[in-house]
Amino acid sequence: MALLEINGIDIAYGKQVTVKDCTITLDQAEICSIVGESGSGKTTVIRAVLGLLPGGGKVTKGDIIYDGRSLLSLNAREWRKLRGHDVSMIFQDSGAMMNQTRLIGKSFVEYIRTHEKISKKDAWKKGAEMLGRMRLPDPDRIMHSYPFQLSGGMRQRVGIAMGMTYEPKLLLADEPTSALDVTTQAQIVRQMMELRDEYGTSIIIVTHDIGVASYMGDKIVVMKNGQIEDQGGRKHILEESSNEYTRKLIGAVPSLGGKRYV
Amino acid sequence: MFDEKDVLLEAKHVTRRFPAQGGRELIACNDINLKLYKGKTLGLVGESGCGKSTFMRFLVWLDRPTEGEVIYQGKDITKLKGRELHEMRQHIQMVFQDPSTSFNPKMKIRDIVCEPLLNYGRIRHSQKDQKARELLEMVELPGDFADRFPHNMSGGQRQRVAIARALALEPEIIIMDEATSALDVSVQETIIELVTKLQKEKNITIGFICHNLGFIQSFSHQIAVMYLGNIVEVMPGENMAKICCHPYSKALLDAVFDTKMDFSKKIDPIKGEPPSPLNVPPGCPFQDRCDKCAAICREKRPHLQELSPGHEVACHLFSKEGSV
């Protein structure tokens, strides 16, 4: 049985329907990339999975089934149990989700103590251990730093470590590498691939970098104007698909040894 | 391919130091020598904070180097002042990264693209309508856009307006500071097509900053790779993937994800992050992240050496004095 099934959902802000008839299924340990231009509704879809649609956003049609139960009927308590435990999310800039005036360690402790009954001391230890497991150098120093003292790539890896604390079955990543340099981007991509190999985590990654999407994704979903334009395996999307928009999008990706304009 | 008599602008031993806390110094650009050739594109790549924007800012006189000179039309433009500087500016124009913040939101597109022309007294106010239309059509936008405000346009359209504004004075050189980074790939492609077309028509020289080596090689005649304020490799844009040899350039190249890559290949990114430019180690700036680092790299700083015409590299591995 699939881990996550998004069944023909419509998402509307007020009367404005922004995502229409979106269907995606995801198996255990599968990575799905959602690509598309800005404003195509790709972030809206994964936000809906975690029930995090911003003000007024609502799923008006269809259903989201996670592990056999519908997510749309959950109440606030059930949501809280799910988020962070079973499903977690990485944002574009993980530094921004943390309180700038508190040590990373303190934010981490708070996060851990929301999810389990544990003393502050143990929670601190658990946090530092988690950073170490994600191969961050010098976990103690990071726990004692403020978010602004770390570089963008480092913050992103702390974000991933926090998201992975409870080894969620599903990880949602919203443009996790867009704000980073190419070299740091490669580090983050590699780390996310390792999560799948080591923990069997399923990942949905939203990105506009088609190169990253095709490297990571077993399955690629192409979105345009709030609708799924095309979806399928990597080979299908990159080579076989006859969809005009997909072809255009793939053709626009600059590649080494590819088209030269001069 | 590059002829010495086509050198349009030359930066010689340009160094920029910023004062930092505790009496220390931050060296943003360290002894940079680069040449821009007539009608060619120079691509400058590197990670954030490596000083690539700082360098390009000298060329448009938004900043002045601490040492060194920038020669254009036989004059050192870093020393110009007043009227002379004003005159010089019309030959070198700039396009910025974020098109939504590089315009005055309260000005109409017509006023935006005609402002440089009015500043230099090239047109009269009565000619604005017609000139704006011409400029917009040059960048393949409908002439009616002249009545719009910047916020009424998409990112790609705004970037076209920025290009129209930079080209209004018919400059010899345009500097583009990550001009396509904020745009979607499909829009990015159309902008580059436009820029290269205009370059051929008007024989413009372009200085382009970017951090994606895969993208920049598709339209550059010459590529310079920068790391921690130093130029580590200069090479021709053609066949760049084959000839690049500095370990850092190779690492940048490996970090590029594209749709034709081998997907089963495990990516092996270089470790860590560049050290703070406040304490650059003696010797090669790349030593701590380089897997071919030898004893000499920790002691002696490598200088650019020519491997073949137009291809220079600063690395002890390729040093003519031989042994590493």
Q: Out of A154, A183, A256, whose CB is closest to B251?
A: A183
- With a CB cutoff of 8 Å and minimum separation 6, the contacts of B254 are A186, B267, B268, B269
Q: What is the CATH code for A1-6+24-54+74-86+172-262?
A: 3.40.50.300
What pLDDT is stored for residue B321 in this prediction? Answer: 57
What pLDDT is stored for residue B1 in this prediction? Answer: 62
What pLDDT is stored for residue B24 in this prediction? Answer: 83
Hey, are the CB atoms on A183 and B269 less than 8 Å from each other?
yes
Domain boundary assignment for chain A: 1-6+24-54+74-86+172-262, 94-165
What pLDDT is stored for residue B320 in this prediction? Answer: 64
Q: Is residue B199 within 8 angstroms of chain A, CB to CB?
A: yes
Residues from chain B contacting residue A184 (CB–CB below 8 Å): 47, 269, 273
What pLDDT is stored for residue B100 in this prediction? Answer: 80
Hey, are the CB atoms on B185 and A210 less than 8 Å from each other?
yes
| End-to-end Cα separation, chain A, in angstroms | 51
Q: Rounded CA gap, B323 and B311, in Å?
A: 21
Which of A182, A214, A238 to substitute to test the interface with B, most B CBs within 10 Å?
Answer: A182
Q: What are the pLDDT digits (tens) for A46-105?
A: 999 988 888 888 899 999 999 888 988 888 888 888 888 889 999 888 888 888 899 999
Q: Are B70 and B55 in contact (CB under 8 A)?
A: no
Q: Out of B217, B221, B256, whose CB is closest to A211?
A: B256
pLDDT, mean of residues A146-169:
88
Q: What are the pLDDT digits (tens) for B121-152?
A: 888 888 888 889 888 888 888 888 888 898 88
Domains and CATH numbers, chain B: 4-91+171-318 (3.40.50.300), 101-170 (no CATH)
Q: Rounded CA gap, A242 and A252, in Å?
A: 16
Residues from chain A contacting residue B263 (CB–CB below 8 Å): 214-215, 234
Q: Judge whether residue A25 has pLDDT over 70.
A: yes
Q: Taking Cα atoms as reference points, which of A80, A249, A210 lies closest to residue B212?
A: A210
Q: What are the pLDDT digits (tens) for B2-31?
A: 777 788 899 989 999 888 888 888 888 888
What pLDDT is stored for residue A204 in this prediction? Answer: 94
Hey, are the CB atoms on A210 and B259 less than 8 Å from each other?
yes
* B193 CA: distance to closest CA in chain A (Å): 7
CA dihedral A248, A249, A252, A256 (to 10 degrees): -120
Q: Are A114 and A200 in contact (CB under 8 A)?
A: no
Q: What are the pLDDT digits (tens) for B215-250?
A: 888 889 999 999 888 899 999 888 888 888 888 888
Q: Are A220 and A231 in contact (CB under 8 A)?
A: yes
What pLDDT is stored for residue B323 in this prediction? Answer: 44
Hey, are the CB atoms on B257 and A154 less than 8 Å from each other?
no
Hey, are the CB atoms on B220 and A262 less than 8 Å from each other?
yes
What pLDDT is stored for residue B324 in this prediction? Answer: 44
Bridging pattern class, strands B173-177 and B92-95: parallel
Q: Are B208 and B181 in contact (CB under 8 A)?
A: no
Q: Rounded CA gap, A220 and A234, in Å?
A: 6
CB-side neighbour CA atoms (13 Å) of B295: 2
> Residues for chain B: how many in total?
324
Q: Is residue B237 within 8 angstroms of chain A, CB to CB?
A: yes
Q: Which residues of B96-133 are buried (b: 16+ CB within 10 A; e: fewer)?
A: bbbbeebbeeeebbbebbbebbbeeeeeeeeebeebbb
- With a CB cutoff of 8 Å and minimum separation 6, the contacts of A139 are A128, A129, A131, A132
Hey, are the CB atoms on B259 and A260 less than 8 Å from each other?
no
Q: Out of B155, B255, B259, whose CB is closest to A238?
A: B259
Interface of A with B (CB under 8 A): 37-38, 137, 151, 153-154, 181-187, 189-190, 193, 208-212, 214-215, 234, 238, 248-262
Q: What are the pLDDT digits (tens) for A202-217?
A: 999 999 888 899 999 9
Q: Taking Cα atoms as reference points, which of A67, A30, A29, A35 lies closest to residue A49?
A: A67
Q: What are the pLDDT digits (tens) for B146-195?
A: 888 988 888 888 988 999 999 888 899 999 988 888 788 888 888 888 89
Name the β-bridge partners of A23: none
Q: Taking Cα atoms as reference points, which of B190, B134, B181 lies closest to residue B157?
A: B190
Q: Is residue B215 within 8 angstroms of chain A, CB to CB?
A: yes
Q: Which two tokens stand for residue A184?
A: 């740091």
Q: What are the pLDDT digits (tens) for B31-72?
A: 889 988 998 999 999 888 888 888 988 888 888 899 888 998
B210 vs B275 pLDDT, higher one: B210
pLDDT, mean of residues B249-256:
86
Dihedral class, residue B234 (left if φ above 0, else alpha if ψ from -120 to 50, else beta): beta
Bridging pattern class, strands B67-72 and B41-45: unpaired
How many Cβ pairs closer than 8 A exist between chain A and B? 120
Q: Are A179 and A94 in contact (CB under 8 A)?
A: no
Q: Which residue has the tokens 């800012």?
A: B57
| End-to-end Cα separation, chain B, in angstroms | 32
Positive or negative, the CA dihedral A59, A62, A65, A69 is positive
Chain A residue whose CA is closest to B276:
A151
Residues from chain A contacting residue B261 (CB–CB below 8 Å): 211, 215
Hey, are the CB atoms on B273 and A184 less than 8 Å from each other?
yes
Residues from chain B contacting residue A151 (CB–CB below 8 Å): 273
Q: Are B269 and B255 in contact (CB under 8 A)?
A: yes
